[in-house]
Amino acid sequence: MAQGVTTEWEDMQVKMGNWKPNPVAKEPDSEQVYTETVERNELYDPKLLMSNKQLEEMAEDDLDFDDEDEFMKEWREKRMREVAVEAAKPKFGSVYEINKPEWDYHVTKAPAESNVIIHLYQEYVVECKVLNEIMDQLAAKHKNTKFIKCIATKAVENFQDQDLPALIFYKGGEL
C-alpha cells in the first residue's frame, strides 16, 4: 500500500471513532501506485497458494506434456516427409500449347507419376473456347497435372470438327 494511504476499512474505523485519523494520509500519485503494483506482482507466486495435492497434479500434468511432445515430434516428422514427397512431384500450373512434333516430349515422356490431359480443339468452335477457359482454371488449381491443348488438325490429320472438343487422358505415357 502506498505510504500514507488508508484503506476503506481504516476510513470506516476513523469515522466510527475507533481509530485516530492518520495525519500523513494523502492521495497517492499514479507513479507511486504503479511501482507498488509492479513490486507486488513480481513477488507473487501462485504455487504458494496451492495445496500439496494441487502441486502433485501439476507435476503429473508436466509428465503428460512430455508424452505429447513426443507425439508432436513424431507427427511433425511424418508431416515433413509428406510435404517433401509432395514438393518432389513435378509442378506445372498452366496450360501448354503444343503441336505434333512436341507431342512425344510433352505427352509420352511426361513424368510417370503425373497425369496429362490433352484438349484437341479448333478456335472457331464455341465449346472448345469454353473448355479452354475451364482448363486454364483447372491447371492453376491442380499443379501436379499437366494440361495441354493442341489444335486438332495439327495433332491428328483429318480430325473431324464434329468430334470437338476432345479430351485425351494419359498417365505414365499410357493412354
Q: What is the mean pLDDT of residues 54-60?
A: 81
How do the domains of the chain map onto residue ranges? 8-43, 54-88, 95-171
CATH topology for 95-171 is Glutaredoxin (3.40.30)
Q: Is the pLDDT of residue 81 over 90?
A: yes
Task: Quote the pLDDT of residue 134.
Answer: 93
In this structure, what C-alpha cell is assigned to residue 50? 496451492
Q: What's the average model confidence in pLDDT over 140-146? A: 89
Give the pLDDT band (50/70/90) at residue 147: very high
Residues 6+ apart with CB under 8 A from 128: 119, 121, 122, 164, 165
pTM beyond cutoff 0.75? no
Dist CA 84 CA 131 (whole Å): 33
d(CA 75, CA 67): 12
Polymer length of the chain = 175
For 88-137, write each residue's pLDDT tens digit: 888 888 888 888 888 888 887 777 778 899 999 998 989 999 999 999 99
pLDDT averaged over every residue in the chain = 84
- Amino acid letter at 40? R
Beta bridge partners of 147: 95, 117
Place of cell 513435378: 90
CA dist 152 and 166 (Å) reads 8
Strand partners, 121: 151
Backbone angles phi, psi at 161, to 5 degrees: -65, -25
- Residues 166, 114: contact at Cβ < 8 Å? no
